[in-house]
Homo-oligomer: A and B are copies of this chain.
Amino acid sequence: MSHVRVALVDDEPLIRSGLAAVIGAEPDLVVVGEAGDGADVPDLVARTSPDVVLMDVRMPRVDGIAATRALVRAGSSARVLVLTTFSNDDHVVQALAAGADGFLLKRSTPEEVVHGIRTVARGESLLFPEAVRELARRHLLTTGAGVATELARLTSRERDVLRLMATGRSNPEIAAELVVGLETVRTHVASVLAKTGTRDRTQAVVLAYRSGFVTG
């Protein structure tokens, strides 16, 4: 193969610009497409057939985990390299389960970024040293590793609801956002509370932040 084709998915234009600048400077790498949300990933990949997708975790509508899952489910051959600001285990576990091939922290240097891209393009998986180290540290601190598994048990709709809860939305607001009935939202909220072992929405939101399910 001549060039490694790279697609960028991040909601922050500045990050995309930075990645494009870094990647464009490498003779063996080429940026073939960009998207600002996970919802646009299937179309982007279909259009540009990238070898590697650099995927942000936190995005407004569809996050990188879900987008990765969608890619894998669609049988795409594109390798997914997940970009994350913080290396917390919830993201790592979820993304690995979703089928990601590696991790990069956003505070990585340009050298680390291009190295990571070449690594996953070769078919190897990449868990960036720093991410692994922080992952281990966190696991020692968290009590019994319950949280990640609890949150992992949530259905995709329940995750949607929890994400919106974590922005301070009320049940009626969430219902409007997701275009479903209020009763449906109440059901999902009840499921989230039951599965996470929390008593009310505030505790669920606290768990979401502390576990890194959402980033503050």
Known interface pairs A18-B17, A21-B20, A168-B199; A216-B205 also in contact (CB < 8 Å):
no
Interface-located stretch among A62-70, A91-99, A107-115, A177-185: A107-115
Secondary structure class of chain A's binding surface, majority of residues: helix
1/0 contact string of A165-207 vs chain B (CB within 8 Å): 1111010000000000000000000000000001111110111
* Total count of chain A residues near the partner, CB < 8 A: 36
Cα separation A206 to B162 with both chains bound (whole Å): 12
> Which of chain A's residues 107-163 have a Cβ closer than 8 Å to chain B?
107-110, 113
Q: A15-B106, A168-B200, A168-B202 are in contact. List 12 more A-B contacts (CB 8 A).
A: A13-B108, A14-B18, A15-B15, A16-B18, A18-B19, A165-B202, A166-B206, A168-B199, A168-B206, A201-B202, A202-B205, A212-B216
